[in-house]
Amino acid sequence: MKRFFILLCLFSLSFSEEGLKAYQVYPFKQTPFIPNISFLLDTSLVLRNENNLDTLEVPGFLHGHGEEHAHGEFNREKGFNLNYGELFLNAPVDPYFELYVTIPFSEEGVQLEEAYAVTRGLPHGFQVKAGKFRSSFGRLNSQHPHLWDFAQQPLIYRVFFGEGLVEKGVQINWLAPLPLYLLFGLEVLQGENERSFGVKGFTLNTKRDGSGSEVRIGDAFRPGLFVGFLKTSFDLGSLSLLTGLSYALGNVRSIEEEEAFKGKVGIYGVDLTAKYFVDSYTYIALQSEYIHRNTEGTLYRYDEFGDLTALYAEKRQGGFYVQAVWQFSRRWRAGFQYNLITRNEVREADQREDLPDNLPAYYGVLEFRPTEFSRVRFQLGQNRALYEEGERKTINELILQLTFAIGAHGAHPF
C-alpha cells in the first residue's frame, strides 16, 4: 500500500501547471490530437503436405480437436490465406496520456486486440500503461505479427501462449537513471490466456453419465496473473546487445472433454539478441529465447468405472528457439530459425506419462522489401513436433507471404 501511495503521488505531481501551460493552445486547434492512422494487410499462398492441421497435436501441449486453432491463425489453410488486416491508431489524449488502439480484421470477424493508454512525462523514469495490451514478457511477445522475422511465432510461444499473451491490466515501468539502458517492469493482468492460465471455473458431475451430484470449482481470483521483467541493452562498437529476464505467475482453470484442471503456473524466460551492423543497411542479427513452464494442481478425470477422481498433477515443460537474420543489402535479407521443445514431463499422482520430447521445427526465409511499406517473403519450413493418434507427422510447407502497409507507422524496434 505504501508503494502504491508513493506512485500515486508521483503520478499526481506530473499534472503540473507547467505541463498544462506547455499544452495549452488558444484558440483551440485539433492538429495535436489528430490520430496517426495506418492499415496493414497480410496475405499468403501456402503449399503443405498435410490437408488438415486440426487433427494434429503436440503431445502434452495442444490437442487435435479443432478448438485449439483460434480465431485468426496465420497461414492455416492450404492455398490462399487472407491472414489479417490490422488498423492502428494512436494520438496524444492531453499532456499526460497517449492512446494506442489496434483492431485486427479477419474473415472470422473483428476484435479489439489492443487498446491502452500510456502516461507521458511521469517523473523519475516511471511510466504506467493501462488497458488491454501485449505483455512485455520475453523478447517477441510484445511485437505485432508484421514485425516478426518469420511467418509465424516460434514453436515454444505457440504452445505456451497461442496467439500471444495479450491481457487486460496495468503495467508499471521504471527506467533506471544509468548510462546504460536498464528497465524494470511489473504487470498485473486478468489472466485469461487459455493456453497457460485461465480464470473461469467449471462444474463437474461425480458420474460420467450425469447421474451423480455436481461439483463446482469456482473462478480463480482476478486479477490472477502477475508478470515481472528486466531488460537491458548496451553497445560494443558496431555490436548491439539486448537481453532480458521475465517471470509470470498465475492461476489455471481449464476443462476439456472429460478432464479438468485447477492449479498454479509459473513461467520464466530468458532472451538474448545480438545485432552487428556492417554499415547503415546491412547487419547480422542473432536472437534466442528459452522459456520454461511449471504447472501443478488438481486434475479431475473419470476412471474406468465412470467415477470422478481428483489427483495431484504437475508439468515441467520448456524449449527454445534460436534464429539468425542476415540483411545483405538494403532491400534483401535471409534468415534461419531452429525450434526445439526440450522438456515435456507430465506426472499424474506418482506416474509419469510417456510423452515425447526433443520436438523440433525448422524454418528458412528469404525476404525482399521494395520499400518500407511492402514486403515479399518466401519461407520454407519443416515441423516435426506434431502427432496424430500417437504417430509423429512431418509437416513440410512453402509459404509466399505478402505484406502491405499504408499510413503513418512508427520505426521498427531494435
pLDDT digits (tens, 9 = 90+) for 358-386: 999 999 999 999 999 999 999 999 999 99
Gap between the Cα atoms of 231 and 213, Å rounded? 51
Contact residues for 332 (Cβ-Cβ < 8 A; gap 6+):
366, 367, 368, 369
Structural domain contains residue 363:
yes
pTM > 0.75: yes
- Asked if residue 8 belongs to a domain, the reply is no
* Number of structural domains the chain divides into: 1
**Domain residues for 100?**
47-407
- What is the per-residue pLDDT for 30? 55
Q: What is the mean pLDDT of residues 36-58?
A: 93
- Residues 162, 152 contacting (CB under 8 angstroms): no
Classify residue 349 as left (phi > 0), alpha (psi -120 to 50) or beta: left
Give the distance from CA 51 to its chain's centroid: 27
Is 41 inside any structural domain?
no
Q: What is the pLDDT of residue 414?
A: 63
> What's the angle, vertex CA 157, arms to CA 155 and CA 159, rounded to 5?
70
pLDDT class of 349 with cuts at 50, 70, 90: confident
Average pLDDT of span 23-33? 52
What 30-37 contacts at long range (C-beta under 8 Å, 24+ apart), as own/partner pairs, is 32/92, 33/91, 33/92, 33/93, 34/91, 35/89, 35/90, 35/91, 35/99, 36/88, 36/89, 36/90, 36/91, 36/407, 36/408, 36/409, 37/87, 37/88, 37/89, 37/407, 37/408
Q: Which amino acid is at 232?
A: T
Span 9-18, average pLDDT: 47
Does residue 101 lie within any of the structural domains? yes
Question: Is 11 inside any structural domain?
Answer: no
Q: Which residue has the cell 545483405?
A: 328
Domain-located, residue 21: no
pLDDT in tens, 258-313: 889 999 999 999 999 999 999 989 999 999 999 999 999 999 999 989 999 999 99
Long-range contacts from 328-334, C-beta under 8 angstroms, 24+ separation: 328/282, 329/281, 329/282, 330/281, 330/282, 331/368, 331/369, 331/370, 332/366, 332/367, 332/368, 332/369, 333/366, 333/367, 333/369, 334/364, 334/365, 334/366, 334/367
Least confident of 198-202, 249-253, 263-267: 198-202
Question: Binning pLDDT at 50, 70 and 90, where does residue 220 land?
Answer: confident
Q: Which of 242, 244, 320 is nearest to 285 (CA)?
A: 242
* CATH number of the domain to which 383 belongs: 2.40.160
Residue 20 belongs to a domain: no
Within-domain flag for 61: yes
